[in-house]
Amino acid sequence: MLSAHQPFETYPALIREAAHEAGGVAQVAGGVPAMCDGVTQGQPGMELSLFSRDVIAMAAGIGLSHNMFDAAVYLGVCDKIVPGLAIAALTLGHLPAVFIPAGPMTTGLPNDEKAKVRQLFAEGKVGRDELLEAESKSYHGPGTCTFYGTANSNQMLMEIMGFHLPGA
């Protein structure tokens, strides 16, 4: 459902295929619940945002608790999923791990144009339909959110810490 997670839909099959070609076996240990602050803003579930990190860490830890794995590949984006998965990875520090990001969202409406429409809306010069159209054009593709917020910050931090390949 969430644009930042959509690219991961096909990753398990790709990872299994790559592992098989290298003579290994890959299995999905489990999935974790995910939410997006951009979607939950103003909704009853919004207050669960930070709490979800603990649930994500626990779900990943339980999925990997069978002592059946030689390594782990973590698929995650943003300020809830990445820290939750990092907690799980550090808890299971005996397993080599790599994090794979979803990649960047394709650029939509530039920020200065979006800001102009927001300003015009605030001044009452354009209506809600024009505002929603501009917002929809801003984030129109799959991948990590385009604004410099926590999703990008977490992806950069994972790269800086050596959990992502450089430039990921």
pTM for the whole structure: 0.78
Give residue-wise pLDDT tens across range 55-113.
999 999 999 998 899 999 999 887 788 889 999 999 999 999 999 888 777 777 887 88
Using CA atoms of 140, 142, 148, 151 in order, give the dihedral in degrees to the nearest 10.
Answer: 140
What is the set of domains in the chain, with CATH numbers?
6-105+147-161 (3.40.50), 107-140 (no CATH)
Would you say residue 37 has pLDDT above 90? no
Three-class DSSP labels, 140-167: CCCCECCCCCHHHHHHHHHHHCCCCCCC
Q: Check if the beta carbon of residue 20 is closer than 8 Å to that of residue 115.
A: no
Specify the pLDDT at position 104. Answer: 77
Identify residue 102 by its one-letter amino acid code. Answer: A
Would you say residue 125 has pLDDT above 80? yes
Distance CA 45, CA 58 (A): 19
Specify the pLDDT at position 148. Answer: 59
Distance CA 9, CA 5 (A): 7
Specify the pLDDT at position 103. Answer: 79
Would you say residue 140 has pLDDT above 70? no
Read off the tokens for 157: 């931090």
